[in-house]
Amino acid sequence: MTLKVVGQNVLRYDGLAHVTGETHFADDVIIPGTLTVKVLRSPVSKGKIMNLDIRAAMSVPGVASVITADDVPCNGYGHIPDQPVLVEEMVRYKGEPIVAVAAVDEDTAIEALEKIQLGIEEEEPVFDHIQAMMPDAPKVRPEGNIHMFGKYPFRQVKFGDIDAGFREADVIIENTYRHPSLEHAQLEPMVSQAVPEAGGKLTVYTVSQAPHFHLEELYGILKVKKNNVSGKHWITEKGSRTGQGLEFGDINFIGGTVGGGFGGKNDMHADHITALLALKSGQPCKWRWTREEDLLYSTYRGCWYITIKDGVKKDGRIVARKIKTIRESGAYASSNPHVVEHNIFNSTGPYFIPNVHSRGYCVYTNKPPASSMRGFGLTPSTFATEVQANKIASELSMDPWEFRFKNVYRNGDLTSTGSKLDSVALIEMMQTLAEKTGVTLPDRLKQMSSAKRGGNSI
């Protein structure tokens, strides 16, 4: 059947609104009487709050509401959930929110923040995730710095027989790669506006990439829905009455038009705090992160170390691969365990390798929580496996194209997690790329295809 609309370059649905300035992003919703939110963030990377006195802040004229951990009904959120909305007692990263203020304007909010008495007994932080894995490293969290995947401190993949694979190899090539931390730098900073509506309801204007999930997380914080914080003893349910009486459906999130995300808005950054302040003050509250806050304290792609050890035959075939990858998670889990799994499940790169053993670690440090970013676990592994591919080729004095043609996935191949592949096209795509870029491939490569490998799988 011929397609009429699918496959056509119809113009962008929201394009005209974008070019005329009619598109409204979360920050463009202007509601009279909205209070400005500012947050007191921890000045230190690790420590224990010894005293916190907000009375002077509350009595600044123009301050409508000041909230601390005591105002949060169930003070934990996130994928696990293990992250406090506002610090209870232990600070785990510089910039962690401790107190939030809603006031008539920014100056008043800042004045109120300056009046807060905060005493923190500083403790030694750990920033390097490799160092954080050492047994005597300072503890980011009471249960230790290495995230547990069930009973193991790693997620692993074992495929084939790794020892036999290395015995079969002619050359062993081992390298370590480092991928630094990166910021999404989406141009729309974090912003949230919570507006009380009739009958105790609440509307939240959000920049979320996943508003359905984030609304559920907020219901968990407000104890409208069960929040699965068992086992996270640093998260308390102090019995705050904020939002008491709310039911499922009483809060709505408005969004869906986001000024760039790239994974940076998969975690709730501001909606919980504006919601709590709006519920407490009964007035609309808006929190706009500054660009500085966005760069310093929003989620980011954590730093990675990836060590690849490959056993290779002289003809270029990889017959064994051992991988150890270590991902910096920052102070909380967020999506980091998933990022590590994504990395480990795909650690062969686009290559069929018959014997694989890979292990991925997710390590806590005293930094803001890292999380998802475009490319997720595969960005660092693509960097590592593709530079490794060229290093192997160069070691074997082989053409890097030829090396790839020999090893890439073909239809019917198994991934190291046991999935059987179809719709594979790498060989055909490389053939076209060579043509487009003026690279002459030898005939034997030009004649290859992604069709199933014959008989024996290599």
Residues found near ligand FES in the complex (CB under 6 A): 187, 260
Position 358, amino acid: S
- In this structure, what token pair is assigned to residue 134? 């050492």
Q: Which strand (E) or helix (H) includes residue 192?
A: strand 191-196
**Residue 252 interacting entry, from another protein, ligand FES, none, C-beta within 5 to 8 Å by type:** another protein
Specify the residue, 235 or 349, whose C-beta has the smaller distance to another protein.
349
**Calpha distance 295→313 (Å, rounded):** 46
Q: Is 58 in the site for another protein (CB under 8 A)?
A: no
CA-nearest of 252, 255, 253, 251 to 207 is 255
CA-nearest of 419, 315, 371 to 79 is 371
Specify the residue, 81 or 235, whose C-beta has the smaller distance to another protein.
81
> Residues 260-299 vs another protein: string with x where CB under 8 A?
xxxx-xx---------------------x-xxx--xx---
Position 416, amino acid: S
Please state the closest distance from residue 383 (CB atom) to another protein, in A.
Answer: 5
* Residues in 418-447 at the binding interface with another protein, rule: CB under 8 A: 418-419, 421-426, 428-430, 432-433, 436-437
CA-nearest of 312, 307, 353 to 167 is 312
The radius of gyration of the chain from alpha carbons, rounded to an integer in Å, stands at 26
Specify the residue, 68 or 334, whose C-beta has the smaller distance to another protein.
334
Answer whether 56's CB lies under 8 Å from 116's CB. yes
Q: Is 376 in the site for another protein (CB under 8 A)?
A: yes
* Residues in 209-248 at the binding interface with another protein, rule: CB under 8 A: 209-213, 215
User: Residues of 7-21 as b/e, b for ≥16 C-beta within 10 angstroms?
Assistant: eeeeeeeeeeeeeee
Specify the residue, 14 or 247, whose C-beta has the smaller distance to ligand FES.
14
**Residue 295 interacting entry, from ligand FES, another protein, none, C-beta within 5 to 8 Å by type:** another protein
Residue choice 161, 386, 402, 412 for contact with another protein (CB under 8 A): 386
Specify the residue, 23 or 70, whose C-beta has the smaller distance to another protein.
23
Q: Tell me the C-alpha to C-alpha distance, in Å, between residue 137 and each of 123, 128, 228, 325.
A: 12, 10, 29, 19
Position 37, amino acid: V
Residue choice 122, 124, 128, 315 for contact with another protein (CB under 8 A): 128
Specify the residue, 117 or 390, whose C-beta has the smaller distance to another protein.
390
- In this structure, what token pair is assigned to residue 355? 């014997």
Residue choice 63, 67, 159, 310 for contact with another protein (CB under 8 A): 159
Residue choice 179, 269, 317, 324 for contact with another protein (CB under 8 A): 179
Number of other residues whose CB lies within 10 A of the CB of residue 273: 24
Label the pairing between strands 318-330 and 356-364.
parallel
Please state the closest distance from residue 11 (CB atom) to ligand FES, in A.
Answer: 15
Specify the residue, 166 or 352, whose C-beta has the smaller distance to another protein.
352
Specify the residue, 183 or 386, whose C-beta has the smaller distance to ligand FES.
183
* Residues in 306-335 at the binding interface with another protein, rule: CB under 8 A: none
* Distance between first and last Cα of the chain: 38
Specify the residue, 42 or 206, whose C-beta has the smaller distance to ligand FES.
206
Answer whether 81's CB lies under 8 Å from 217's CB. yes
How many residues form the binding site for another protein (CB under 8 A)?
A: 135
Give the DSSP letter of residue 419.
Answer: P
Instruction: Say whether 325 sits in a helix, a strand or coil.
Output: strand
Residue nearest to ligand FES (CB): 187
Specify the residue, 50 or 439, whose C-beta has the smaller distance to another protein.
439
Q: Is 410 in the site for another protein (CB under 8 A)?
A: no
Contacts of residue 247, defined as CB under 8 A and 6 or more positions apart, other chains included, come to 224
**Calpha distance 132→378 (Å, rounded):** 23
Q: Is 391 in the site for another protein (CB under 8 A)?
A: yes
User: Across the chain, which distance is largest between two alpha carbons, in Å?
Assistant: 81
Please state the closest distance from residue 366 (CB atom) to ligand FES, in A.
Answer: 30
Number of other residues whose CB lies within 10 A of the CB of residue 74: 24
* Residues in 69-108 at the binding interface with another protein, rule: CB under 8 A: 94
Residue choice 300, 332, 361, 364 for contact with another protein (CB under 8 A): 300
Stretch of 3-11, 50-58, 60-68, 138-146 lying at the interface with another protein (CB under 8 A): 3-11
**Residue 84 interacting entry, from ligand FES, another protein, none, C-beta within 5 to 8 Å by type:** none
